[in-house]
Structure 1
Amino acid sequence: MNVATELPEIYDFLLKFILIGDSGVGKSCLMHHFLNDVFRDPSPHTIGVEFSSTLMRLPSSTPAATIAGSRIPNSKTLKVQLWDTAGQERFRSVTRNYYRGACGAVVVYDITSRASFNSLSSWLADARALASPDLAVVIVGNKLDQEEDRQVPYLEASRWAQEHDVLFMETSSLSGENVEQPFILLARSILLAIESGQLDPDKAGSGVSYGERALRRVSSWGSGLKSTHRGGKCC
């Protein structure tokens, strides 16, 4: 178990991610397991929007620094805001307001629900219309732990993602399988776009802004850092 300590932390970029998809597909459980390394039980439906944030440290594509003759791998620290939106239709007019300024979208469906997969086109169209013009998207097929009830084949979903020019993977927010990967994929994609010059944080509407020094609660995880700030529900 990781032990959190108070450390001064510099984050290089601030990113806004939205989690969208039909009600009941496991968006809140996916986010909760990613942030807390544990399944959320019980998991009530989100009312409106729920907010959290985390710090992620990822390798940079820029050259490593040399200090006292030793090469020090370069990395960037990203502060990622996570906006988990309600999937019920009656909240769509409210939750769409939170798409603005997002540079990344995690669009979730349930592999045991053909209907939730069929809704992906609508969710993706809304996100691309309202969020950053350079929006990065990952499609997530959740509930891998219910493989015996699968209604959406992996290859079909993978082809759909390729046709719509988005990333794709399957997860289980119950077992924790792959729960970190959608967020890491998005963050890496956006960081690469920044460092290659394809995405300019100074450009209005980019969905990315430069960071600043702040005191953060930081804990080591995997190859990077993650800290969590839980916000209350709104709307």
Structure 2
Amino acid sequence: MASGGYGDPSAKIDYVFKMVLIGDSAVGKSQILARYARNEFSLDSKSTIGVEFQTRTLVIDHKSVKAQIWDTAGQERYRAVTSAYYRGAVGAMLVYDITRRQTFEHIPRWLEELRAHADENIVIILIGNKSDLEDQRDVPTEDAKEFAEKEGLFFLETSALNATNVESAFSTVLTEIFNIVNKKRLAGAEEEQGNGNLSSLAAGKEINVVPGPAQEIPTNSSMCCKS
């Protein structure tokens, strides 16, 4: 599994994985990112304008992995950035607010957009954020779990406020990407960058990893649950 903290900028990087955060405005995407990348949380956070990203370096199986995590505004008027935003992403977090049913009901639309623009083998986790507001819950855990299982997504409920499951959510996605990349590298399936397939940066050069039919990203039922 993944381990390590906020990284030594001078350390050798074995892989760079781009992840994207998507979902409606004000579901807590920027707060999740701030908690993971800087271990920060701000109650007076303002809406994201356009696109921004943070990085964090961690160790998976003795390899140094830099997560490059992109956050975008959830408002409709910023969706023109779509294709550039998704390009090269190998992981995605679909985020909704457990206290606002509408944000969950919009998840299928976000998922459709993601699948239309991103690599077909992208690793996706569904995130129900604000689990600290249990008394205001408007989305039952079982509803989200059922949707995640149907769509083949990982699923966790998180709280950026008290840091519940934020590490686990990123670790789940990054470790799954890492395992896919290494499985294909061991099989000798390196290709040059540019074919639009699941890709990463390894030892200073870009490689493509193309999971074959027998190595589709599995629906990990053990992760599709509240923890």
From 32, 37, 42, give the equivalent of 1:35: 37
> Of 176, 197, 200, which residue of structure 2 is paired with 1:189?
176
For 1:179 and 1:6, the matched residues in 2 are separated by 21
Q: Which residue of 1 aligns with 2:209?
A: none
1:108-119 matched pairs, under 5 angstroms = 108-119=95-106
Question: What residue identity is the alignment partner of 1:46?
Answer: T
Residues of 1 paired with 2:60 and 2:102: CA distance?
35
Q: Specify every segment of 5 or more residues in structure 1 that has no aligned partner in the other structure, as ranges.
A: 60-74, 214-235
Q: Which has the larger radius of gyration?
A: 1
- For the structure 1 residues 3 and 182, does the alpha-carbon distance in structure 2 shift closer, same or farther, using more than 3 Å as the test? closer
Structure 1 residue matching 2:26: 3-state secondary structure:
coil
CA distance in 2, matches of 1:201, 1:28: 34
Aligned counterparts of 1:201 and 1:41: Cα–Cα separation in 2: 45
- For 2:50, the aligned partner's letter is G
Q: Provide the rounded CA distance (Å) in 2 between the counterparts of 1:175 and 1:95.
A: 31
2 CA distance for matches of 1:209 and 1:97?
18
Residue 146 of structure 1 pairs with residue 138 of structure 2: no
Tell me which of 190, 202, 227 is aligned to 1:210.
Answer: 202
Larger fraction in helix: 2
SS of residue in 1 equivalent to 2:132: helix
Following the alignment from structure 2 to structure 1, what is the Cα–Cα distance between the partners of residues 24 and 91? 18
Letter of the 1:100 counterpart: R
Give the alignment of 1:1-235 within 5 angstroms: 8-59=10-61, 75-197=62-184, 202=191, 204-205=195-196, 206-212=198-204
The 3-state SS of whatever aligns with 1:182 is: helix
- The structure whose RCO (Cα within 8 Å, separation 6+) is larger is 1
Q: In 1, Cα distance between the equivalents of 2:190 and 2:130?
A: 35
User: Residues of 2 paired with 1:126 and 1:6: CA distance?
Assistant: 35
Give the CA deviation at 1:155.
Answer: 1.2
What is the Cα-based RMSD across aligned positions, in Å? Answer: 2.3
Amino acid at match of 1:162: E
Paired residue secondary structure (2:79)? helix
TM-score by length of 2: 0.80
Residue pair 1:86, 1:95 contacting (<8 A) in 2 also: no
Distance 2:89 2:9 in 1: 28
| Gap change, CA 1:4 and 1:157, over 3 Å in 2 | closer
Distance 1:211 1:114 in 2: 44
In the alignment, the residues of structure 2 paired with residue 141 and residue 3 of structure 1 have an alpha-carbon distance, to the nearest angstrom, of 24
1:141 CA displacement? 0.2
Deviation at 1:191, TM superposition (A): 0.7
Alignment length, in residue pairs? 197
After TM superposition, the structure 1 stretch with the greater mean CA deviation from structure 2, 197-206 or 100-109, is 197-206
Q: Which structure has greater strand proportion?
A: 1
Structure 2 CA distance for aligned equivalents of residues 208 and 33 of structure 1: 24
